[in-house]
Amino acid sequence: MLKPFLKAFNSTDKNKYALTDIRFRATDGKILEVDNGFSKLDSKEVAAWRKRFNARLCSNKLLDRSGVWRYREFLPWARPFDTVVTMPEGNTPIFNMPRSAAYCGMKALLCKHQGLNPTGSFKDNGMTAAVTQAQKLGAKMVACASTGNTSASMAAYAARAGIKSVVFIPDGQIAYGKLSQSLDYGAITIQINGDFDKAMSIVQEVCERGNIYLLNSINPFRIEGQKTIMVEMLHQLDWAAPDWVIVPGGNLGNSGSFGKAFDEMIQLGFIKKLPRIAVVQASGANPLYKSFIDKNTVLTPVQAHTRATAIKIGNPVSFDKALFAVKLTNGIVEQVSETEIALAKSRIGVDGVGCEPASATTVAGCKKLIERGTIKPENTVVCILTGNLLKDPDYTVEFHQDYLFAEADRSVTLTGTGKINTGGFANKPVKLEADADVILEYLLKNRS
């Protein structure tokens, strides 16, 4: 195994950069990634790694309890692992989802719920790795632009590491649950008058000029942590790859990290069959989908619109990496409407699981791909639910009260345009007199 270094992704720049270089792009502007220098393992070594991962499931050491660092052989750059900042994260369950499966027209459907991480989203898997690196580099301040989950996660992990953090968020465009987190974890929270894409461009300039360590998914160490979501998933499935993994697409770091996970597992000879990756975007924030359909490998940014605010992104940083992931796995990119997202989210809810709107693009996308015949009803499919239901309660309550709007005006309650048809799935709260007879009469009428 070679010593890890940074190299440019999909680039003409063949330079190697030291892990301690604080840079995110190569000379030609392409994003860097960690080259872990993996070489093929023989079958005995593969068996030994798997045995070690199993043994760590019975350990009480914090490093072993983490669903990221349990797989630390995949993160050799972080050796000797004695300064790792962990909550511990990962360990997210894979649920069997019978009602969502029926909704999609499938025999069975699995959902891996990354929203059950310490700060309620998949960002924790990446942030443990990137904040560990920030600490190794002696960073005094870390920053990110965010639609809410990255900022919540960064604020928490930076606080755990004793590093000051600053978040840039689009004013009025992130869910309150997420805003409350970065405030509570002590981050300097800057609300800018612009969208996520604007915040992303400003944070890069501020970090460069202010010597602040950037923790968006342009940071290659974030990707390193996030790739273990796929390692943990395969471990949970006893290393039997599903036919499909479906993931929401926003800034596209997650999709890219899954591609890196599978690429490295192939280099190592760790698995033989690859799942196919389906990236699903909201139709109002669909630059990857558009490029995929047009067979265009160059990103054309869009002006993003969606109530799934987590993925309201028109100029995704990890576009190239996501395209690579789709190509590597013979995958696909799909888009879903606001109504499709809302209805799918309600079905994930009645499975007793729930998620935030962006996560529901996966089940919505699955239904669409089944209808198209791309996914077969008997296929094994794992949808990645990226965020917790409680992140964006407004959306859920508005849906169930039957006043969810595609374009909501948050300054005036209950108004907006493009009312979403809840298709009989809204579970309206009822107001009844505080009288047992009245309540019982109502319940008897509504037993089934």
Does 249 interact with ligand F0G (rule: CB under 6 A)?
A: yes
- With binding defined as CB under 6 A, does residue 336 bind ligand F0G? no
Q: How far is the CB of 351 from ligand F0G (least distance, A)?
A: 18
The CB-of-27 to ligand F0G minimum distance in angstroms stands at: 25
Restricting to residues 367-386, name those near ligand F0G by CB under 6 A.
386
- Of 4, 90, 118, 148, the residue at the interface with ligand F0G (CB under 6 A) is 148
Using the rule CB under 6 A, which residue among 251, 286, 379, 396 binds ligand F0G? 251
In the complex, minimum distance from the CB of residue 386 to ligand F0G, in angstroms, rounded to a whole number: 3
Binding ligand F0G by CB under 6 A: which of 36, 132, 150, 346?
150
| Using rule CB under 6 A, residue 359 touches ligand F0G | yes
Give 268 or 358: the residue with its C-beta nearer to ligand F0G.
358
Question: Of residues 75, 84, 231, 252, which one binds ligand F0G by CB under 6 A?
Answer: 252
What's the 3-state SS for the chain?
CCCCEEEECCCCCCCEECCCCCCCECCCCCEEEEECCCCCCCHHHHHHHHHHHHHHCCCCCHHHHCCCHHHHHHCHHHCCCCCCCCCCCCCCCEEECHHHHHHHCCCCCEEEEHHHCCCCECHHHHHHHHHHHHHHCCCCEEEEECCCHHHHHHHHHHHHHCCEEEEEEECCCCCHHHHHHHHHCCCEEEEECCCHHHHHHHHHHHHHHHCCEECCCCCHHHHHHHHHHHHHHHHHCCCCCCCEEEEECCCCHHHHHHHHHHHHHHHHCCCCCCCEEEEEEECCCCHHHHHHHCCCCCCCCCCCCCCCHHHCCCCCCCHHHHHHHHHHCCCEEEEECHHHHHHHHHHHHHCCCCCCHHHHHHHHHHHHHHHHCCCCCCCCEEEEECECHHHCHHHHHHHHCCCCEEEECCCCCCCEEEECCCCCCCCCCCCCCCCHHHHHHHHHHCCC
Among positions 132, 149, 182, 315, the unique one binding ligand F0G when judged by CB under 6 A:
149
Smallest gap from Cβ 107 to ligand F0G, in A, equals: 26
Binding marks (x or -) toward ligand F0G, 388..427, rule CB under 6 A? ----------------------------------------
* Residue with Cβ nearer ligand F0G (104 or 199): 199
Residue choice 121, 133, 219, 396 for contact with ligand F0G (CB under 6 A):
121
- Which residue lies nearer to ligand F0G by CB, 212 or 311? 311
Among 310, 323, 348, 382, binds ligand F0G (CB under 6 A): 310
Question: Applying CB under 6 A, does 254 fall inside the site for ligand F0G?
Answer: yes
Q: Which residues bind ligand F0G (CB under 6 A)?
A: 121, 123, 146-150, 217, 248-255, 310-311, 356, 358-359, 386-387
